[in-house]
Amino acid sequence: MPFEDHITTSVSRRTLLHAGAALAGSVVLPSSFALRAFAADDKPAIGTWPAGSQGDTIYIGAAVPLTGPYAVQGADELKGWQLAVEHINNGHELMKAIAPKVDKGLLGKQVKLLSADSAAKPNNAVQAEQTFINDNKIILMTGSTSSAVAVALNKFAQREKILYMAGISGSNDTTGKDCVRYGFRQNFFGQTAAAAIGPVLLKAYGKNKKMAFMTPDYTYGHTVTKSVNDYLTANGGWEMVTNQVSPLGTQDYSQYLTNIANSGAEFLINVNWGRDAVLSTQQAKQFGLLPKMTLVIPYQIPFLAKEVGPDITEGVFAATDFWWTQEDQYPLAK
């Protein structure tokens, strides 16, 4: 079905927003029950309790990128949270299906979502969440989209003793070496992406292939590249002939693509994400690397196909979130 089909786009987005609502509800619940667990006179304050649970409203703070290279993904992330909060406060049947005790709010309190633009910058995200804590006594932080932001908010959450749920974070380190007690995530990451896409590539193409990587220069890029390279090297004897590392927000990839074109690689493994993935993939096509090389995108979400276009993404190998029963209920998910 064509990507410009309005009905397809609307239903797909609604389906994803429903999934986001389910996730958000499951995330909010532990912190809401914490209100009850800590509500005793002999318990010391923790995070923003008791101030954050007084009154008839509790607050969630979302620091998401609405500008910069991850703006499109940040906007969709925010829509998911907005829908989730709406479902929680209104007692929507979807929310009751996954959390029967949630009925028009949490423990009798309405939930209010606060948001700020992080521009995918760690300092911006931390400052925004600090403001939400000071002004509104939030009980849960969310957002990220960039793993650099997720790692920074992990450390901030640990210091402030407030739950943090990463919106999107593909770095192994987020729940690896930088894991903290107060930080959580639901999405897949470098190691799981490699474990999913690696066997498929080996089955389709066999062993001893040459591959070129395009890697964004921060924790997400480096850990995803390492995981995919380690898997294909150890299990298939594939060889990384070049790894082109670029800054987040790069506009012109010509120097990196020239190096790849001269590397002798058979596969182009593009680890870039968001707008960086769109630009680098489109420019790879313009340089003639595609379809001469097989394009692999080990960490992506379905919206990339719409932005890049079906002429490039058709037949591309990619790893993404997927719940296998969705296709039984939603034909578009097949």
pLDDT in tens, the chain (334 residues): 333 333 333 333 333 333 334 444 444 444 434 444 444 566 788 899 999 999 999 999 999 999 999 999 999 999 999 999 999 999 898 888 888 888 889 989 999 999 999 999 999 999 999 999 999 999 999 998 999 999 999 999 999 999 999 989 999 999 999 999 999 998 899 999 999 999 999 999 999 999 999 999 999 999 999 999 999 999 999 999 999 999 999 999 999 999 999 999 999 999 999 999 999 999 999 999 999 999 999 998 777 778 888 888 888 899 988 877 888 887 777 7
Identify which of 201, 188, 173, 321 has the alpha carbon closest to the alpha carbon of residue 268.
201
Q: At 220, which helix (H) or strand (E)?
A: helix 219-236
**Helices 254-261 and 274-286, packing angle to 10 deg:** 50
Residues 200 and 250: beta-carbon distance below 8 Å: no
Tokens 């959390």 sit on residue: 99
Residues 209 and 241: beta-carbon distance below 8 Å: no
* Edge-to-edge strand ranges of the sheet holding 267-270: 239-246, 210-216, 267-270, 294-297, 317-318
What pLDDT is recorded for position 101? Answer: 86
The CA distance from 182 to 112, in Å, is: 21
In the chain, the amino acid numbered 121 is K
As a whole number of Å, the end-to-end CA separation of the chain is 12
The CA distance from 73 to 183, in Å, is: 21
Question: Alpha-carbon torsion 196, 30, 58, 48, what sign?
Answer: negative
The CA distance from 243 to 241, in Å, is: 7
Q: List beta partners, residue 106.
A: 109
Identify which of 211, 246, 249, 217 has the alpha carbon closest to the alpha carbon of residue 230.
211
Q: At 21, which helix (H) or strand (E)?
A: helix 6-38
267, 273, 278, 282: CA torsion to nearest 10: -20
Residues 22 and 94: beta-carbon distance below 8 Å: yes
Q: List beta partners, residue 15.
A: none
* Alpha carbon of residue 245 to chain centroid: 21
Q: Write the CA distances from 120 to 1, 88, 173, 192, 270, integer angstroms.
A: 33, 27, 17, 23, 20
- Structure pTM? 0.82
Q: Percent of the chain, pLDDT > 70?
A: 87
- Express each pLDDT in 36-52 by its tens digit: 444 456 678 889 999 99
Residues 166 and 144: beta-carbon distance below 8 Å: yes
- Express each pLDDT in 82-110 by its tens digit: 999 999 999 898 888 888 888 889 989 99
3-state SS class at 91: coil
The CA distance from 72 to 67, in Å, is: 8
For residue 247, the tally of other CB atoms under 10 A from its CB is 10
Residue 249 CB partners (closer than 8 Å, separation 6+)? 68, 69, 275, 276
What pLDDT is recorded for position 40? Answer: 52
